[in-house]
Amino acid sequence: MAQVLTPTAAPGSPAEGAEGVRSAGSDPARASAGALAACNATLVVENMYCGGCMRKVEQALLQQPGVASARANLSARRVTVTCSTGRVSTDDLIEALAGAGFKAAPLLDEPAAAARSADRDLLRRVGVAGFAAANIMLLSVSVWSGQSGDMDTSVQTLFHWLSALIALPTVAYAGQPFFRSAVQALRARRLNMDVPISLGVLLATGMSVYQTMRGSQQVYFDAAVSLLFFLLIGRYLDQLMRSRAAGAAANLLGLRGSMATVIHADGGTERLPARSLAPGMRVLVATGERIGVDGRILEGRGGVDESLITGEADPAPVAPGRQVFAGTLNMGPPLVVEATATDESTLLAEIGRLMTAAEQGRGRYVRLADRAARHYAPAVHLLGLATFVGWLLTGHGWEPALTAAIAVLIITCPCALALAVPAVQVAAASRLFGRGVIVKAADGLERLAEADTIVFDKTGTLTLGEPRLVGGGACSDGLLARAAALAASSHHPYARAVVREARDRGLDPVAATDVREVAGAGLVRDTAAGEERLGSAVWCGVEGEAGDVATLWYRPAGGEAAAFRFEDRLRPDAGEVIATLARAGYRVELVSGDRPAAVETAAGEAGIAQWHARQNPAQKIARLDALKAAGCKVLMVGDGLNDAPALAAAHASISPSTAADVSQTTADVVFQGERLVAVVEALAVAKAARRMALQNFALSLGYNVLFVPLAVAGYATPLIAAIAMSSSSIAVTANAVRLRSKRLEL
């Protein structure tokens, strides 16, 4: 039965709408976050090998009714399709790609098995081609040696026929990946780079058989089989490196617990697949078992390895009431967890979608490479034809003319150019993910690399965002309960601290209804007696210096405002991170909506000289605009509703995030865990990625500048062309893969 996609508000849609979406009737450079109410399907495209293939895949899908966008990922050989209206069947998408000459299938939950099978198939073909090339080369060396000695012509002819007996089945078997791709392209009335490769191998083999039948000594069996051997080596290593670079997002879902032990109401247990669980179920997690759901601990205390989510190596202590996430590992005694999110709704699945969106996005460098490859492919075909005609016009025979033209077509394949930036992008996103940093925007790393000024928010960003109420005993239980009822509707750290204090007193506050949250001000609710408010001093009617004595105020309907004072610790590495940024030449500022005394204290402890207090969202944006007018490219680091406009207005943005905020934040990059060093890591990786992207451009262009004239002049045979082309693709991919383990300093 065909899978049908229906338009829904997909989780992670902000990432799907990030920069780089190529959609019908829109500029791919800038699509607003969340602009598409969309559903997604990911297809594996088996024979997508170059930038031209990638463009044709996207065009074929965009022509289908109901398809809003199509984004191909050359590194992973996948395409993500987003629908906007109507009902779109995956069978229709696969059929559309088949009509364009591409073989596609839906991405399964376990893509690794198919990838391993493809790797083994290519490796077998490499082995057959290598064995045959070695034996044919031995026969060829004997013939070459005998031409200057006393070897009879009949013996030389016999050796040529032996070479043919080895070469013909080898070409038929080892050349299938290229031949199939070329036939599919020609059936769709298009050209890809496997067409000239297949043409070169078949012509060289056919000419060799013809010359052997004539008794001529000019045979090319060794060149044809060696050409296949080196091309297959290049394709195998290229595929191997792609899978290594693109593995982080693809492997995420495999880290979910496949089975879970469900506790029924009567106390009985049952082992069920994790994907069949539903919110509200109680799940028993044994020691050493992966948690299969997002949920809240009901029973048990111990430690959970959350390195998959936060990047922190030490197990996190857990107790009843603590939230845990799918994919994390129980390192302590058994736990009983109440499921709150399952299967595709878990944080792990959300992170996987964000990672895939970042890998398949189009940054500026990627779009530049796409345009270059699009114009480059037709040019090289014309160059090959011109080479053939030129050699004929200069009096050479058709054989050397055709050989030179084939060499030109092979050597000018733009695979290295098409891979130059996507490989770096995938490697950078994979490295950051391993450190608890998720890249969401397509060109987020490019803009991070350009930043020269960093503006931090205070609460929840420079600090841990876990303030504790100080002097709570001065508040009556009734007053605290009413304030906590308002606060329960907000995710702000101060609001959570009020709720936590109320629960510690055993009040168990229930969230009030009809509560409105005003960014940068606070919460308000209409009651029969009038408005009650929780928020800043000004918001609660406290004016002048009186408002500086507390961070949060609560004003009941018709009553006097009550003060709530908090203390919040800086992140453990905040001072070290600020010092590192200053040494690297960044201008650092602290801009907060908190009162001046608290902001000054935090800035002093962190080592930030320039700070601004009592800044509402509009004032934060005004400060960013002032820095922009001064020529600065600002990176905003903040969280919370009041920081969202500033995050969107900055040149680049990073946000620390909890599970609930991952899909809601407008930041380009989200980091998990308590350590602020993630900001330094993101900046270092962004700068290294930019350097490597430029290096890859230089490698691919330099290769063409060096070898194309040699091929046109006849100095590069098809064999040399194959080696050069494979080497260039391997070089740019290997350079990108270095980023995953390279030691970086800001």
What pLDDT, on a 0 to 100 scale, did the predictor assign at position 682? 92
What pLDDT, on a 0 to 100 scale, did the predictor assign at position 699? 86
Q: Assign a CATH topology to domain 468-567.
A: Calcium-transporting ATPase, cytoplasmic domain N (3.40.1110)
Residue 369 confidence class, pLDDT cut points 50, 70, 90: low
Look at residue 498 and tell me whether its pLDDT is greater than 60. yes
CA atoms within 13 A on the CB side of 538: 10
* Percent of the chain scoring above 90 in pLDDT: 13
127 contact partners, CB below 8 Å, separation of at least 6: none
Look at residue 6 and tell me whether its pLDDT is greater than 50. no
SS3 669: strand
Task: Report the run of H or E that residue 532 belongs to, with start and end.
Answer: strand 530-535
Average pLDDT over residues 544-557: 77
CA 239 to chain centroid, in Å, comes to 18
Average pLDDT over residues 479-491: 85
* Percent of the chain scoring above 70 in pLDDT: 77
453 contact partners, CB below 8 Å, separation of at least 6: 586, 587, 588, 589, 627, 632, 633, 634, 635
> For all residues of the chain together, what is the average pLDDT?
77
Among residues 394, 64, 615, which one has the least CA distance to residue 624?
615
Of 1.10.10, 1.20.120, 3.30.70, 1.20.1050, which CATH number belongs to 111-245? 1.20.120
Q: Hey, where are the domains in the chain?
A: 4-107, 111-245, 257-345, 427-464+570-684, 468-567
Task: Compute the distance between CA of residue 694 and CA of residue 66 in angstroms, rounded to an integer.
Answer: 37
Q: Assign a CATH topology to domain 427-464+570-684.
A: Rossmann fold (3.40.50)
For 207-249, the pLDDT digits (tens) are: 788 878 887 776 778 878 887 887 787 677 666 655 554 444 4
Decide: 20 and 28 in contact? Cβ < 8 Å: yes
Look at residue 110 and tell me whether its pLDDT is greater than 80. no
Question: 């610790």: which residue's tokens?
Answer: 569
Residue 191 confidence class, pLDDT cut points 50, 70, 90: low
What radius of gyration do the chain's Cα atoms show?
31
Q: What is the token pair recorded at 198? A: 């297949």
- How many CB atoms sit inside 10 A of residue 400's CB? 12
Describe the crossing of helices 718-737 and 677-712 by its angle, rounded to 10 degrees: 170
Cα angle: 721, vertex 723, 729; to 5 degrees: 100
Cα angle: 306, vertex 309, 312; to 5 degrees: 55
For 595-607, the pLDDT digits (tens) are: 788 888 889 999 9
Task: Compute the distance between CA of residue 463 and CA of residue 567 in angstroms, rounded to an integer.
Answer: 10
What pLDDT, on a 0 to 100 scale, did the predictor assign at position 186? 80
For 608-656, the pLDDT digits (tens) are: 999 998 887 778 888 988 999 999 999 999 875 567 677 778 888 888 8
For 443-467, the pLDDT digits (tens) are: 788 889 999 999 998 877 888 767 7
Look at residue 680 and tell me whether its pLDDT is greater than 90. yes
Average pLDDT over residues 288-307: 84
Look at residue 356 and tell me whether its pLDDT is greater than 80. no
For 112-129, the pLDDT digits (tens) are: 555 667 778 888 999 999
Residue 492 confidence class, pLDDT cut points 50, 70, 90: confident
574 contact partners, CB below 8 Å, separation of at least 6: 462, 463, 605, 606, 676
278 contact partners, CB below 8 Å, separation of at least 6: 339, 342
For 47-69, the pLDDT digits (tens) are: 776 667 887 888 888 888 888 88
Task: Compute the distance between CA of residue 208 and CA of residue 220 in angstroms, rounded to an integer.
Answer: 5
Task: Report the run of H or E that residue 298 belongs to, with start and end.
Answer: strand 294-299
Residue 377 confidence class, pLDDT cut points 50, 70, 90: low
Q: In Å, what is the CA distance from 298 to each residue of 321, 339, 689? A: 6, 10, 44
Task: Compute the distance between CA of residue 683 and CA of residue 425 in angstroms, rounded to an integer.
Answer: 14
Task: Compute the distance between CA of residue 484 and CA of residue 478 in angstroms, rounded to an integer.
Answer: 10
Residue 661 bears catalytic tag: no
Look at residue 155 and tell me whether its pLDDT is greater than 60. yes
Higher-scoring residue by pLDDT: 593, 706: 706
What pLDDT, on a 0 to 100 scale, did the predictor assign at position 274? 75
Task: Compute the distance between CA of residue 678 and CA of residue 741 in angstroms, rounded to an integer.
Answer: 16
Task: Report the run of H or E that residue 260 belongs to, with start and end.
Answer: strand 259-263
What pLDDT, on a 0 to 100 scale, did the predictor assign at position 684? 94
Task: Compute the distance between CA of residue 697 and CA of residue 564 in angstroms, rounded to an integer.
Answer: 57
Least confident of 348-362, 564-578, 700-714: 348-362
What pLDDT, on a 0 to 100 scale, did the predictor assign at position 268? 84
Describe the crossing of helices 398-411 and 718-737 by its angle, rounded to 10 degrees: 0
CA atoms within 13 A on the CB side of 605: 16
Look at residue 20 and tell me whether its pLDDT is greater than 60. no
Q: Where does 257-345 sit in CATH, by number?
A: 2.70.150.10
Task: Given the residues 457, 568, 594, 643, select the one marked as catalytic.
Answer: 457
What pLDDT, on a 0 to 100 scale, did the predictor assign at position 610? 92
What pLDDT, on a 0 to 100 scale, did the predictor assign at position 577? 93
Determine if residue 64 is left, alpha or beta; phi over 0 gives left, psi from -120 to 50 gives alpha, anything else beta. beta
What pLDDT, on a 0 to 100 scale, did the predictor assign at position 634? 93
Task: Compute the distance between CA of residue 599 and CA of residue 527 in angstroms, rounded to an integer.
Answer: 34
Average pLDDT over residues 26-46: 48
Of 3.90.1260.10, 3.40.640.10, 3.40.50.300, 3.30.70.100, which CATH number belongs to 4-107? 3.30.70.100
For 411-442, the pLDDT digits (tens) are: 776 667 666 777 787 788 778 877 878 887 76
